[in-house]
Amino acid sequence: MNAVRELMKVFITRRIPEEGMKILSGATGVCEVSQWDSDEPVPRAELLKRVQGAHGLLCLLSDKIDAEVLDAAGPNLKVISTMSVGFDHLALDEIKKRGIRIGYTPDVLTDATAELTVALLLATARRLPEGVEEVKTGGWSSWKPLWLCGYGLSGSTVGVIGLGRIGMAIAQRLLPFGVKRLLYTGRTAKAHAAEVNGEFVPLDTLVSESDFIVVSCSLTPETQGLCDEAFFSKMKKTAVFINSSRGAVVNQEDLYEALKSGQIAAAGLDVTTPEPLPTNHPLLTLKNCVVLPHIGSATYSTRGVMSALTVQNLLGGLQGLDMPSELRL
């Protein structure tokens, strides 16, 4: 008589798009799933409880997966699959030490995130939220030569911090606006930069020569707090700062001072610290700061594909098979 194989346990920390759930329900005989059935984050205590004994964990960027969570999960845990390309919420050293595999979602969200970053740049530089507000509140009295002027991309210098997948896709989208020079920084020069005539320059050169600075690097110990007082003080007074990477790359107190004092022209942020940004945060009092709620990858189709890829990674990791997008540690 065949022994009945025990199902592996999976914990999913949130509701995710149905594309992923369908794949999971088709994988009969592999795992039993428990899910935090909400659009809001799982409370930490609940995560620590529900992860116990799990073989697989499907998480989001808002779940901090550290030694405490890994200890709570125990020795069964084989795979952590995050529905994000960023992995700064995962304690990589601890995960590696325990031999746990990681799945993530590069590439599939590159276009959506680049598109949103360009939208944010244009909205910030051309003051769209201010304009919309003026129309609604009766501030629009006439066509006025000096009113609501901003900055255009034509003939400008754009500096991209981190010319990776998303940085490159942003550069490709910005060039047709008539950008004259495309500067970038990173740890190493990139062969693909030639496609956008990218010039690899030291950070200081990028900061002082750019009319638009776009941050699209990953959050690491080296990039944490990279954009601080010294950084903003080197920027042109007419320059626009855009961040769609992670909030912690920016020192927000220093950014506030730079915007308030007119040291820089404007900032557009898709990411902040913390998230959500409290509604009484000083940055939200500034007209020259546009803040979005971390929606870079938020198109229906992109989130569907991310969900499917996250589940495929999870299933591959559970069964000891290839994962379509494994983060190699």
Residue (187 or 328) nearer to ligand NDP, CB:
187
222: β partners = none
Does position 245 interact with ligand NDP (CB under 6 A)? The reply is yes
Asked if residues 12 and 35 have their Cβ atoms less than 8 Å apart, the reply is: yes
61 contact choice in ligand DGY, ligand NDP, none (CB below 5 to 8 Å, kind-dependent):
ligand DGY
Q: Give min distance, CB of 5 to ligand NDP, in A.
A: 37
The nearer residue to ligand DGY, 31 or 214, going by C-beta atoms, is 214
Kindly state whether residue 297 participates in binding ligand DGY, applying the rule CB under 6 A.
yes
Q: Should residue 242 be labelled a site residue for ligand DGY when binding is judged by CB under 6 A?
A: no
**Sheet bearing 56-59, strands edge to edge:** 31-35, 8-12, 56-59, 79-82, 101-103, 326-327
The rounded distance, in Å, linking the Cα atoms of 169 and 116 is 11
Q: Which of residues 85-144 bind ligand DGY (CB under 6 A)?
A: 85-86, 109
Rule CB under 6 A: choose which of 81, 263, 297, 313 binds ligand NDP: 297
Give the Cα separation of 184 and 166 in Å (integer): 13
- The residue to which tokens 């496609």 are assigned: 195
Residue whose C-beta lies closest to ligand NDP: 164
**Using CB under 6 A, which of the segments 51-59, 74-82, 90-98, 180-188 binds ligand NDP?**
180-188
The residue range among 48-56, 79-87, 208-216, 275-283 that interacts with ligand DGY, by the rule CB under 6 A, is: 79-87
- 251 in contact with ligand DGY (CB under 6 A): no
Binding stretches for ligand DGY (CB under 6 A): 61, 84-86, 109, 296-297
Binding stretches for ligand NDP (CB under 6 A): 85-86, 106, 109, 113, 161-167, 185-188, 216-220, 222-223, 244-246, 270-271, 294, 296-297
